[in-house]
Amino acid sequence: MNKINLIVADDHQLFRDGLTALLNKHPFLNVLATVEDGLELMNTLKKETLPDILLLDLSMPNMNGFEVLKNIRKKYKTVKAIAISMHDDGNYIARCAEYGAFGYLLKNTDETEVIDAIKQVYNGGKYYNQDLSRKMIDSMAEVKSVRKLTKKEAEILEFLSKGFTTKEIASKLYVSTRTVETHRSNMLKKLEVKNTVELINKATTLSLI
């Protein structure tokens, strides 16, 4: 059996190194490289041998895990990504599945499960454990009903989440306050909430923000 080549992507060096130390105890695994964000990853893939498996943290600076997944699927079809996240969140999981991740692991999983997942994915399978699959299905209904926010809406949401007032946002975007209010109000309807604080809370849990 050939060695399985891996790359580990996570923004916390300690986690990265720890995980590598852990993986390296297994003689059939070979960690080719570790990177701290999506950008570095893409550069590494350009230059080095392609790995069989990519262990990918979702929350990274520069280019997050979701972006990475999209890119990988386009440019490096042979690389199979397994997401590693600390969020036990149906929406995250669903998005990973959608973007073509071959597996999803929680950071509070154990060594055995990681190894299992790697083996399974390497052999052509997928690894989403039951608990996670259920969460994903639960969140589906909700996510679908939300569709997406439009560009302008997302832009305004961004400002709202930083605490800017309607007036401030209007002047930044060179539109009338009414327009900003309309966009906000449309978002309230889309997400079925009643005020800005709830909007931001919900947008956050749906990772729209």
Partner DNA sequence: TTTTTTCTACGTGTTTTTACGGGTGTTTTT
Partner DNA sequence: AAAAACACCCGTAAAAACACGTAGAAAAAA
Question: Rule CB under 7 A: which residues touch DNA?
Answer: 147-148, 150-153, 165-167, 173, 175-179, 181-185, 188, 194-196
Going by C-alpha positions, the residue among 193, 116, 66 that lies closest to residue 201 is 193
Q: Strands, E, within the chain: which ranges? A: 4-9, 29-35, 53-57, 80-85, 103-106, 127-128
Indicate which of its own copies, DNA, none lies near residue 18 (CB less than 5 to 8 Å, by partner kind). Answer: its own copies
Residues in contact with 10: Cβ distance below 8 Å, sequence separation at least 6, in sequence order? 16, 19, 34, 36, 55, 57, 60, 84
Minimum gap (Å) between residue 190 Cβ and DNA: 9
- Asked if residues 95 and 207 have their Cβ atoms less than 8 Å apart, the reply is yes
Interface pattern 19-48 for its own copies (x via CB under 8 A): xxxx--x----------x------------
How far, in Å, CA of 99 to CA of 142, rounded?
18
Give the DSSP letter of residue 150: -
**Within a 10 A sphere around the Cβ of 118, how many other Cβ atoms?**
25
Minimum gap (Å) between residue 137 Cβ and DNA: 25
How far, in Å, CA of 78 to CA of 97, rounded?
17
Give the DSSP letter of residue 129: -
Q: Strands, E, within 86-182: which ranges? A: 103-106, 127-128
- Give whichever of 98 and 111 is closer to DNA, judged by the CB atom: 98
- Kindly state whether residue 17 participates in binding its own copies, applying the rule CB under 8 A: yes
- Kindly state whether residue 189 participates in binding its own copies, applying the rule CB under 8 A: no
- Give whichever of 86 and 137 is closer to its own copies, judged by the CB atom: 86
Of residues 152-171, which lie at the interface with its own copies (CB under 8 A)? Answer: 160-163, 165
Residue from 3, 46, 77, 107 that binds its own copies (CB under 8 A)? 107
- Kindly state whether residue 88 participates in binding its own copies, applying the rule CB under 8 A: no
- Give whichever of 141 and 197 is closer to its own copies, judged by the CB atom: 197
Q: Which residues of the chain form contacts with its own copies (CB under 8 A)?
A: 11-15, 17-22, 25, 36, 84, 86, 105-111, 114, 160-163, 165, 193-198, 200-201
